[in-house]
Amino acid sequence: MRNPAANISVVLITFNEENKIKKTIEAVSSLTDDIIVIDSFSTDNTKAICESLGVTFIQKAWSGYGSQKNTGHAYAKHDWILSIDADEVVSAELLQELKNLKFNSEKQVFNIPFKTYFCNTLIRYGGWNPQFHIRLFNKKYTEWDTLAVHETLKLSADTDIVTLTGTIHHYSYDSLEDYTSKSEKYTDLFAQRLKERGKKSTWVKIYLSPLFTFIKEYFFKLGFLDGAMGFKIACLNYNYTKSKYSKLKKIQ
């Protein structure tokens, strides 16, 4: 049963997530009766699945990650927001922790550990694990920025950050093709963001930064312990770093 004292709303954004959204919503359905989905006009069965699960389903033209998420805050019944993505599943341990959570201040935010999966394989080392992200906060004091990519929460100097122990399972990419498609979009957005901030691309950024990324993640962060998958991810992150600075060079 849901803990009425929790007073948590769940907000997530979607676009064509028919293969993942049911599992994500069901994982938090016992936490709250206030789940808000902000959808940017999916063309698959995302809408039908969400409506069958009884969530508040709002369609809004895409306006950026942070902006879409902030829109969900306006529809939330409660001030406390658990913000998750459609490919993120709250673990049973975290669910129980959230049900028993006591809020001491409206300026608290809660940092949550993530376990990341690539092609449904848990990645234990390297650049993707361990990861922590602040995903539970009070909407009266905290909201997302409106950066085009890699949005972050705007936190004040007196924010009290509390780290939880339960995890979120992040099923990041289903296939190499899925990664490649998303990587192309993210590196385009990242290059544009760097340009707007007045950043310049140099040969050091294009050639040495990717190499340092590979060495750091594969050796120093023990990516090699994930075997062939660890090597593949280190190579993908090498290419990601090189791509974003190469694209910046072209547009600067």
Phi, psi (degrees; rounded to nearest 5) at 169:
-90, 120
Give the C-alpha separation, 240 to 126, whole Å.
15
Within the chain, how many helices (H) and strands (E) appear? 8, 12
Take residue 158 and report the two structure tokens written for it: 């007196």
Residues 226 and 142 in one domain: no
Domain count, the chain: 2
Structure confidence by residue, pLDDT tens digits, 89-146: 999 999 999 999 999 999 999 999 999 999 999 999 998 888 999 999 999 999 999 8
Residues 217 and 105 in one domain: no
Nearest CA-CA partner of 169 in 134, 131, 137, 218: 131
User: Could you tell me how many residues make up the chain?
Assistant: 252
- Which pTM value belongs to this model? 0.90
Nearest CA-CA partner of 188 in 150, 133, 236: 150
pLDDT at residue 146, rounded to an integer: 84
Beta bridge partners of 81: 9, 137
pLDDT at residue 148, rounded to an integer: 64
Residues 157 and 82 in one domain: yes
Nearest CA-CA partner of 10 in 78, 65, 58: 78
Nearest CA-CA partner of 164 in 136, 198, 190, 191: 136
> What is the maximal distance between C-alpha atoms in the chain?
57
**What CATH code is carried by the domain that includes residue 18?**
3.90.550.10
| Residues whose CB falls within 8 Å of the CB of residue 72, separated by 6 or more in sequence, listed in order | 11, 12, 13, 36, 37, 38, 58, 81, 83
The torsion of the CA quartet 219, 230, 187, 210, rounded to 10 degrees, works out to 30
Residues 33 and 139 in one domain: yes
Report the share of the chain in percent with pLDDT over 90. 85
- The verdict on residue 1 lying in a domain is no
Straight-line distance from the first to the last Cα atom of the chain, in angstroms, rounded to the nearest whole number: 55
Q: Which domain holds residue 104?
A: 8-172
Q: How many angstroms from the chain centroid is the CA of residue 116?
A: 11
Give the C-alpha separation, 65 to 143, whole Å.
12
Residues 155 and 190 in one domain: no
Structure confidence by residue, pLDDT tens digits, 160-174: 999 999 999 999 999
